[in-house]
Amino acid sequence: MKRVAGFLLLLCLVAVPLAASLNSDATKLAGLLADTQGKATISAQTWKAIANEATTYAGRLYLHRTPKVSDDVKAARKHVLEMHTAAEKGDADGAKAHAGMALPYVYKVIDATK
C-alpha cells in the first residue's frame, strides 16, 4: 500500500509541472502566432526567426502532450512546420496562412490545460 501511495505522490508531483509547462508553451505559441496575423509587413528574415521560435514551442507541446490534447497538438505542430517551410522559402503569405491555421488548435490546447 505504501508503494502505491508513494507512486501516486510521485505521479502527482511530475504531472502538475508538465501540465503547467504545456499551458505555458501553448500560451507563448498562441501569442507569437497571433502577432503575425495583423496588417504589418513582416520581413523574410523576421518570418524565419518567428518560424524558428514557433517550431521550438510546437516541439515542446508535442513532447509534453497528453491524450486529452494530442490531436490538437499534432494539428498545430503540422501547421507550424508548414509555416516554417514557407518562411524558409520566403513565402510570407504562406507562412502567415499556416500561422493562422495553427491558432485554433493552440487555443484548444490552452483551454484544455487551464
Domains of the chain: 2-112 (1.20.120.290)
Q: Other CB atoms closer than 10 Å to residue 56's CB: what's the count?
A: 15
Per-residue pLDDT of the chain (114 residues; tens, 9 = 90+): 666 555 444 444 444 454 568 999 999 999 999 999 999 899 999 999 999 999 999 999 999 999 999 999 999 999 999 999 999 999 999 999 999 999 999 999 999 998
The three cell numbers of residue 19 are 501540465
Q: Is the pTM of this model over 0.95?
A: no
Single-letter residue type at 84: H
**Hey, CA dihedral for 61, 58, 20, 109, is it positive or negative?**
negative
